[in-house]
A and B are shown apart, each in its own frame.
Chain A
Amino acid sequence: CFQGLTKSQNRANMSDIVPPEVRPKPAVPAKPPNGGSTLLGYIGIDTIIEQMRKKTMKTGFDFNIMVVGPSGLGKSTLVNTLFKSQVSRKSAGWSRDEKIPKTVEIKSVSHVIEEGGVKMKLTVVDTPGFGDQINNDNCWEPISKYINEQFEKFLKEEVNITRKKRIPDTRVHCCLYFIPPTGHSLRQLDVEFMKRLSHSVNIIPVIAKSDTMTVEERQEFKQRVRKELEMNGIEFYPQKEFDDDIEDKSDNDKIRRMHLQEMMPFAVVGSDKEYQVNGKRVLGRKTPWGIIEVENPNHCEFAQLRDFLIRSHLQDLKEVTHNIHYETYRAKRLNDNGGLHPITSNDTQKIYDFHP
């Protein structure tokens, strides 16, 4: 129902900048589709999506993902596989002089990756040393501190009198927690960590190196893990409680979420090596008894994790972090403080005197 008046013209101009798939509809006056009888003419409100899209492409957006788990579970390999680039430095084992860090360190590395004209500043926060010691008491504290520090940074910027146009967002949007595939159940350390952090960050539990388990073992393990998470009141992403807050979430989304929850935690295998299988080059692991294809849904759930994390819920993760976790932190800080006064950029010391 569009008049193809300037369509061809538009196409010629647009193709230089924008790849074919994201080419916008031409902005011409058109009869509104069935329904909008109150509009006497075409206003052009629907082009706002287009404007937003263009703007996002120009500014790009950032995404911060944290990986937590004992060393050797394939965290860096998985992140590299997820984003199809070497964004995480693989620790090929501790070198002769390097020892496992005595306390949990927080190492964050940022990369800008681009796809389809969209730029993403991806920050991967690694936590070497988690769960590696003999005594792992409170090894979650440095991680909790880091997350709160990022919230604090954002809060400070927000509360400033002269605010930056776009506040740099270093808050952790998603935390992938790696569960070792013992086949029995969650370990005490897993429960402790997730209990304490599920209220400040979106936790996505992942079963690492799942090529250790056969399909039946995997199903049983997942069931047991889910039961334990439920028993301990651990809400991992996507959280049930946040569904009711947002009124315009349709029932479809609810059903989708429930379906997802049945599949989680995802049992994944990561790899950065390619092999030839049936004439195709696939990412996989070659063993004497067969090749494990990372992206084959019959072999492992990597493809589902990737689709879930990147293709459908990336923006939602950011929103939940901003609207829920950050707001919780902010409310708590304001309550403790008895009201936060907007401060100039010179006067930053005041905030630090109050410990959340």
Chain B
Amino acid sequence: MDAIMLQEKLVERLLCPRVRTARQKCNVEKQYVGFATLPNQVHRKSVKKGFDFTLMVAGESGMGKSTLVNSLFLTDLYKDRKLLNAEERINQTVEIIKHTVDIEEKGVKLKLTIVDTPGFGDAVNNNECWKPITDYIDQQFEQYFRDESGLNRKNIQDNRVHCCLYFIPPFGHGLRPVDVEFMKALHEKVNIIPLIAKADCLTPNEIKKLKDRIREEIDKFGIKVYQFPECDSDEDEEFKQLDRELKECTPFAVIGSNTVVEARGQRVRGRLYPWGIVEVENQSHCDFVKLRNMLIRSHMHDLKDVTCDVHYENYRAQCIQEMTSKLAQDNRMESPIPILPLSTPDADTEKLIKMKDEELKRMQEMLNKMQQQMHDKDQ
């Protein structure tokens, strides 16, 4: 219980600004400019605008992805889903399916998009089965890039994937080749959060061993999963402790459930076995609560920031670099033109700078043309 209350306090801290109390007002009113209320204003504006969040779930079928999503957001997104049998799945390729749901809680609106990837890892030959997924993520980046460079930027739709939950089966001894390849293909495009699925088939010892093993292999293969940001040094000890516990707990071992059972006199989400009842929200049973708190209550904004500041910027830089190098090839330059101008200007460098300027102008024209084309297509 304490842990939950502490986490609530943490959320408050993030949302509410540190406003001067009335006590201090009389003394410093003359020097009080008032911009300390800025976070409050931002808060009010964003609450009005609402938030959006795009979450991707990836993993083999039967890992409990849909159940977990339903448990996380307390919805039933997969009501009319029809499960395919082995024969029907033979010719299936990896698809990308989006479900959108609007959730409102205490006046805050969230437009949640879940990107599902049925068919991943189900075939006999799973070579490059992550390609449709990487293509999709790149497409969203590209679309945002175009929108950003466009003329009308007021209503840009942000479909970029903010977070990818990757479900690792609990049956193995660690990461399998397909897990490693998938994460390596995606770790520079999206925030990956690995999860151990269906953790109720493991004893606590086994979970610990598996987690250690997975962490080891993630280091070994150089996979960059989503890192929780370091807490500031002025945070208090209990917050730091929570943060440390969170980091040591990854990858989270989760259980999901669509059914409500009676346990210890309460109705909770859980699974009923002949030998006992597993409660989804019991911290000693699984890490579901930690995942939910991290994903929704504390780090949702950070996930979006990292997507915008790191993954998207990487994509954008890469894109522009490709464009300029293509232009350089087209103009048949003898020497490769550096992107940054040289520090000491002399005659040669000035010539280079002038050529660079012309190039930039040409690029600008190209962008304008692209924008125009898009505009025409939309009409």
Q: Which of B83, B122, B127 contacts A187 (CB 8 A)?
A: B122
Chain B residue at minimum C-beta to C-beta distance from A138: B124
Say yes or no: A214 contacts B271, CB within 8 Å: yes
- In the complex, chain A residues whose CB is within 8 Å of the CB of B85: 185-186, 224, 227-228, 231
- In the complex, chain A residues whose CB is within 8 Å of the CB of B198: 212
Pick the most buried of B85, B124, B127, B284: most chain A CB atoms within 10 A of its CB.
B124
Say yes or no: A180 contacts B169, CB within 8 Å: yes
Instruction: List A172-219 residues whose CB lies under 8 Å from chain B.
Output: 180-192, 208-209, 211-212, 214-215
Instruction: List A279-326 residues whose CB lies under 8 Å from chain B.
Output: 285-293, 296, 298-299
Query: Contacts A72-B173, A189-B124, A208-B171 given: A228-B203 contact, CB under 8 Å?
Result: no
Quick check: which of B59-67, B100-108, B222-230 contacts chain A, the rest being far away? B59-67
Say yes or no: A187 contacts B86, CB within 8 Å: yes
Pick the most buried of A74, A184, A191, A299: most chain B CB atoms within 10 A of its CB.
A184
Considering only CB atoms and an 8 Å cut-off, how many residues of chain A contact the other chain? 52
Say yes or no: A134 contacts B177, CB within 8 Å: yes
- In the complex, chain B residues whose CB is within 8 Å of the CB of A181: 62, 201
- In the complex, chain B residues whose CB is within 8 Å of the CB of A232: 86-87
How many contacts A-B (CB < 8 Å)?
126
Say yes or no: A135 contacts B200, CB within 8 Å: no
- In the complex, chain B residues whose CB is within 8 Å of the CB of A285: 203
Majority DSSP secondary structure for residues of B touching A: loop
B99 within 8 A of A: no
Say yes or no: A291 contacts B178, CB within 8 Å: no
A345 within 8 A of B: no
Query: Contacts A133-B177, A215-B274, A293-B275 given: A185-B125 contact, CB under 8 Å?
Result: no
Query: Contacts A137-B125, A214-B272 given: A289-B177 contact, CB under 8 Å?
Result: no
Query: Contacts A135-B125, A187-B122, A228-B85 given: A71-B173 contact, CB under 8 Å?
Result: yes
B90 within 8 A of A: yes
Say yes or no: A289 contacts B62, CB within 8 Å: no
Q: Which of B84, B89, B178 contacts A134 (CB 8 A)?
A: B178
Considering only CB atoms and an 8 Å cut-off, how many residues of chain B contact the other chain? 46
- Interchain CA distance A285-B202 in the complex, whole Å: 9
B171 shortest CB reach to chain A, Å: 4
Q: Which of A133, A180, A186, A290 contacts B171 (CB 8 A)?
A: A180
B-to-A contact residues, CB < 8 Å: 60-63, 83-87, 89-90, 122-127, 129, 169-174, 176-178, 181, 198, 200-201, 203-204, 209, 213, 271-279, 284-285
A-to-B contact residues, CB < 8 Å: 70-74, 91-94, 100, 132-137, 180-192, 208-209, 211-212, 214-215, 224, 227-228, 231-232, 285-293, 296, 298-299
A and B contact pairs by CB, cutoff 8 A, 23 listed: A72-B169, A72-B171, A92-B173, A93-B174, A100-B177, A132-B177, A134-B178, A135-B127, A181-B201, A185-B85, A186-B86, A187-B122, A188-B89, A188-B123, A189-B124, A212-B198, A214-B271, A232-B87, A285-B203, A288-B284, A289-B278, A290-B273, A290-B275
